[in-house]
């Protein structure tokens, strides 16, 4: 059915936009000043056109240096935005004052137009969000490692022969391993060896959402009234993007869950989040409670599936990048593993406490190449004053996580990959005085990633198993020249390593036998 706007419709849109901007610009004044702002503020649009769409942390750090301030105010077409480059400020706001700094933006593009208004990362701090967290914690609590460690052990074990047989495709193998793990934990279903439709669906969904989350990418996030414009109007390509995103969202929500239901019914599904929640549903008698719980399960499984897949595989690939660029670190970590684990078995989770250097390597990977370089903004639910600065109600607060992880006062020479920064003087234990990058890399306050312990567990076992069995080095071209892997990252709200080549060779014949022997115990 065709849709068009008459003069009255256009007038309503312009009036709504004008009222929105008037109210924002004429909110109750405070006796306290706003934080400093970068130059170039325009009438009506404010700083909206200055928002960086690529590698935003660099711009945020530059603004902080120019203004000599760790907290920066931006007017995004009438919307209040603050960028925070300081860990201490973020902790003061998101942790100490979490009751008023745990909200989210309405995210007009992602939530309203694309339809992702049910995901834990984008939900407001409300009963629905709390219910999702409660369900996740019930089945995957950090205090119950038996719920996820055996599955991680299995899929890491199945990764190793793939690296041995086809090392050139190591990035694809890592993505498949992480995808198989989260799919198994969330849905209890297998993934196909190649081109799995559910993994493609997860990647398509992530690509569209993460693109939409880039600050300044879509003006509709600053001026929500634009969402009412017709698709045929020039300049409304964002509506077509939103339509494609919504179609992907529906498939992500429905298709893997339907696969799980079929396999549960025929007895081929493994215990997982979906099967355990549906077991609880069978004990319910209230139809509304059943419908609500099933919907919550469907949504939470999709969140676990998509979010867990993206950040974890990128972090493991960053580990490869670090080992290729720093062979001395690789050799030292392998020596520690050989001493603790030996050569007759693969590393296990029980070895972790005896591998302080490898644990320091993992922390440095998280710090040196944070996947979440810029965190999703929190929103203030009421007016506040911090360090003499006024923070209006409904202010979006963007944490510059990369800036915090590269703070030279906390991490001297931050561009260097140096695991020793996290060790005690004798190198036999971690130094608790050095800030753990996990406290930054996985978010803050009540909105900290609830599955960070699963991600770090998979990172540890993958790294330990790979170093115990393989040597990683830089690739060479046909002329024998070394190919230097790029240290740049992809543009976007999450920072993925750019594709690179490396050489992956088994440490010994005994390592090859161990890899194949270990993999035979699993039904691939």
Distance CA 55, CA 366 (A): 17
Most confident of 155-159, 215-219, 296-300, 374-378: 155-159
Indicate if the alpha-carbon torsion angle 352, 354, 360, 365 is positive or negative: negative
Residue among 82, 120, 60, 69 at smallest CA distance from 451 = 120
> Per residue in 482-503, pLDDT tens?
999 999 988 777 788 999 999 9
- pLDDT, position 151: 96
In percent, the amount of the chain with pLDDT more than 90 equals 71
**Strand, coil or helix: 423:** strand
pLDDT tens digits, one per residue of 417-430: 999 999 999 999 99
Give the per-residue pLDDT at 26: 53
Q: What's the pLDDT tens digit per position in 304-314?
A: 887 778 889 99
Q: Which residues contact 233 (CB under 8 A, 6 or more apart)?
A: none
254 pLDDT higher than 60? yes
Alpha carbons 314 and 469: distance in angstroms, whole number = 21
Question: Which residues, listed in sequence order, are joined to residue 423 by a DSSP beta bridge?
Answer: 430
**Tokens, residue 203:** 């990647």
Question: CA separation (Å) from 293 to 130, 263, 451?
Answer: 13, 20, 20
- pLDDT interval class at 16 (50, 70, 90): very low
pLDDT tens digit sequence for 325-338: 999 999 999 999 99
Our CA dihedral for 212, 213, 216, 217, rounded to 10 degrees, sits at -20
Residue 449 annotated as lining a ligand binding site: yes
| pLDDT computed for residue 18 by the predictor | 52
Task: Over range 352-381, report the average pLDDT.
Answer: 95
Written out in words, the top-level CATH class of the domain with range 100-372+406-519 is mainly alpha
pLDDT for 20: 52
Mean pLDDT rounded to a whole number for the chain: 90
Backbone angles phi, psi at 390, to 5 degrees: -85, 130
Q: What is the pLDDT of residue 6?
A: 44
CB 172 within 8 A of CB 481: no
Percentage of the chain exceeding pLDDT 70 = 94
Quote the radius of gyration of the chain (alpha carbons, Å).
24
Return the closest-CA partner of residue 37 out of 25, 26, 48: 48
Residue 245 has pLDDT above 70, yes or no: yes
> Distance between CA atoms of 430 and 410, rounded to whole angstroms?
16
Instruction: Return the residue matching tokens 């005994």.
Output: 510
The pLDDT score that the predictor gives to residue 24 is: 52
**Contact indicator for 371, 311 with CB cutoff of 8 Å:** yes
Ranking 74-78, 338-342, 354-358 by mean pLDDT, the lowest is 74-78
What pLDDT was estimated at residue 11? Answer: 45
DSSP 142: T
* Residue 413, Cβ density class (10 Å: 0-12 exposed, 13-18 middle, ≥19 buried): exposed
Tokens of 155: 């899929």
Q: How far apart are CA 179 and CA 284, in angstroms?
A: 32
Per-residue confidence band for 25, with pLDDT thresholds at 50, 70 and 90: low
State the Cα–Cα distance between residues 49 and 53, nearest whole angstrom: 10
**Quick one: pLDDT band at residue 3, thresholds 50, 70, 90?**
very low
Exposed, middle or buried: residue 427 (CB in 10 Å: 0-12, 13-18, 19+)? middle
Of 98, 96, 79, whose CA–CA distance to 381 is shortest?
98
Query: Which position has the higher pLDDT, 211 or 167?
Result: 167
pLDDT (tens digit per residue) in 78-106: 889 999 999 999 999 999 999 999 999 88
- pLDDT tens-digit map of 140-194: 999 999 999 999 999 999 999 999 999 999 999 999 999 999 999 999 999 998 8
pTM to 2 decimal places: 0.90
């Amino acid at each position: 059915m065709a849709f068009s706007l008459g003069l009255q419709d256009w007038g309503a849109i312009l009036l709504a936009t004008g009222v929105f901007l008037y109210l924002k610009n004429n909110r109750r004044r405070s006796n306290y000043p706003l934080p400093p702002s970068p130059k170039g503020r325009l009438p009506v649009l404010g700083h909206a056109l200055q928002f960086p769409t690529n590698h935003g942390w660099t711009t945020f750090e530059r603004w902080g240096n120019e203004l000599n301030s760790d907290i920066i105010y931006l007017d995004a077409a009438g919307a209040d935005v603050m960028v925070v480059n300081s860990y201490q400020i973020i902790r003061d706001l998101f942790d100490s004052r979490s009751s008023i700094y745990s909200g989210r933006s309405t995210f007009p593009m992602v939530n309203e137009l694309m339809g992702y208004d049910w995901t834990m990362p984008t939900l407001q701090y409300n009963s629905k969000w709390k219910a999702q967290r409660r369900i996740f914690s019930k089945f995957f609590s950090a205090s119950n490692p038996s719920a996820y460690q055996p599955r991680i052990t299995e899929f890491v074990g199945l990764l190793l022969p793939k690296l041995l047989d086809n090392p050139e495709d190591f990035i694809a193998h890592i993505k498949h391993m992480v995808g198989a793990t989260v799919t198994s934990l969330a849905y209890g279903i297998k993934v196909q060896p190649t081109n799995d439709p559910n993994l493609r669906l997860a990647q398509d969904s992530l690509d569209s959402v993460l693109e939409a989350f880039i600050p300044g990418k879509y003006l509709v996030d600053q001026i929500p009234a634009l969402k009412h414009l017709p698709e045929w109007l020039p300049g409304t390509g964002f509506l077509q993007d939103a339509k494609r995103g919504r179609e992907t969202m529906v498939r992500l929500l429905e298709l893997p869950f339907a696969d799980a239901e079929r396999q549960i019914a025929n007895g081929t599904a493994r215990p997982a989040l979906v099967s355990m929640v549906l077991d609880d549903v069978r004990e319910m008698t209230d139809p509304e409670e059943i419908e609500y719980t099933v919907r919550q399960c469907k949504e939470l499984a999709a969140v676990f599936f998509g979010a867990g897949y993206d950040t974890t595989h990128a972090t493991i690939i960053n580990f490869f990048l670090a080992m290729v660029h720093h062979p001395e670190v690789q050799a030292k970590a392998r020596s520690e593993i050989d001493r603790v684990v030996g050569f007759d078995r693969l590393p296990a989770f029980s070895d972790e406490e005896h591998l302080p250097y490898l644990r320091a390597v993992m922390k440095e990977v998280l710090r040196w190449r944070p996947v979440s370089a810029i965190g999703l903004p929190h929103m203030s639910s009421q007016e506040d004053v911090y360090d003499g600065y006024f923070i209006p109600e409904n202010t979006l607060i963007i944490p510059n996580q990369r800036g915090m992880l590269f703070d030279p006062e906390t991490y001297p020479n931050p561009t260097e990959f140096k695991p020793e920064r996290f060790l005690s003087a004798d190198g036999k234990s971690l130094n608790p005085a050095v800030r753990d990058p996990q406290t930054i890399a996985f978010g803050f306050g009540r909105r900290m990633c609830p599955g960070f312990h699963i991600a770090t567990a998979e990172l540890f076992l993958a790294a330990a198993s790979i170093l115990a069995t393989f040597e990683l080095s830089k690739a060479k071209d046909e002329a024998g020249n070394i190919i230097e892997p790029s240290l740049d990252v992809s543009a976007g709200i999450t920072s993925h390593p750019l594709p690179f080549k490396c050489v992956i060779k088994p440490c010994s014949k005994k390592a090859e036998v161990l890899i194949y022997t270990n993999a035979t115990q699993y039904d691939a």
